[in-house]
Amino acid sequence: MTLHVITHSLGEHLLASLRDQSTAPGEFRRLARSLTAILVTEATRALPLKEIDVQTPLEVTVSRVLLETVVLVPVLRAGLSMLDIALELIPGATVGYVGMQRDESTAIAHSYYCKLPPLRGCRVLLLDPMLATGGSAIAAIDQLVDAGADNIALLCVVAAPQGVARLNEVYPDVAIFTASLDRDLNAKSYIMPGLGDFGDRLYGTV
Ligand code: PRP
Ligand code: URA
């Protein structure tokens, strides 16, 4: 397993405000977008490249562009907050959607939606801001693998040790990029210290 905990001063600064319970939904969405830009930049740092000829205003030069198609897959709902900026950074990406909902009492995730573009041979970036028990990410990855994905990375804002360990057990080849590896889960499977319910904080639901 590869766990990348991003060390970035601006990332830490943004995460501090995301954690702050007084941050209102509009600001929360803006911060999530900015932090996602850092996660996407890190997760794409070493993607394979191919050479192409580019005509500048002065001459032809050899340049390098992404070799593989990138597929962005936000996990509904909270992962939607990460999609727009990821698409701005990688406008050639295709997009799939996976809907997952945790049962509030058992924390077990069930899938309610799945629509995916071709995945085989592509670099799939799964976007879900919270990796808690790992149930949602694993159920989402099950669907990606069934649909042919063979190269998947998970981008999350905050990860819990339990979710990282479980994901590593089930899918050791999936790299995790996160802004923070937090301390623990509480009795209701919320990440501690975490930032609360990401979807509720994004959209003002309770
Ligand atoms: C949250 C979050 C993850 C999941 C993480 O979604 O966005 O998908 O919980 O928890 P897990 O690792 O224990 O599965 P939630 O089910 O609350 O749905 P929402 O995005 O619609 O709010
Ligand atoms: N989902 C969230 O939104 N927050 C948590 O802490 C755990 C799961």
Ordered structural domains, the chain, with CATH: 3-203 (3.40.50.2020)
Identify each DSSP E strand in the chain by its residue range. Answer: 3-5, 49-55, 60-66, 70-76, 94-95, 97-102, 109-115, 123-127, 130-131, 152-159, 175-181, 184-185, 191-192
Whole-prediction pTM value? 0.97
Catalytic residues: 102, 106, 197, 200
pLDDT level of residue 125 (50, 70, 90 thresholds)? very high
CB of 158 closer than 6 A to ligand 1? no
pLDDT of residue 73: 98
Does 200 contact ligand 2 (Cβ within 6 A)? no
Tell which atom from ligand 2 comes closest to the C-alpha of 199. 3
Ligand nearest to the CA of 112: 1
Ligand 2: residue whose CA is nearest its atom 7: 190
Q: What proportion of the chain, given as a percentage, has pLDDT over 90?
A: 98
Q: Is 197 in the pocket of ligand 2 (CB under 6 A)?
A: yes
DSSP for residue 14: H
Q: What is the pLDDT of residue 104?
A: 85
Rounded-to-integer distance, Cα 106 and Cα 189, Å? 9
What Cα–Cα distance (Å) separates residue 39 from each residue in 89, 101, 185? 11, 23, 23
Ligand 2 nearest atom to the CA of residue 78, by list position: 3
Whole-number Å distance, alpha carbon 191 to ligand 2 midpoint, is 6
pLDDT at 182: 98
Convert the pLDDT of each residue in 174-200 to its tens digit: 999 999 999 999 999 999 999 999 999
Which pLDDT tens digit goes with each residue over 14-70?
Answer: 999 999 999 999 999 999 999 999 999 999 999 999 999 999 999 999 999 999 999
The response to whether residue 190 sits with its C-beta less than 6 Å from ligand 2 reads yes
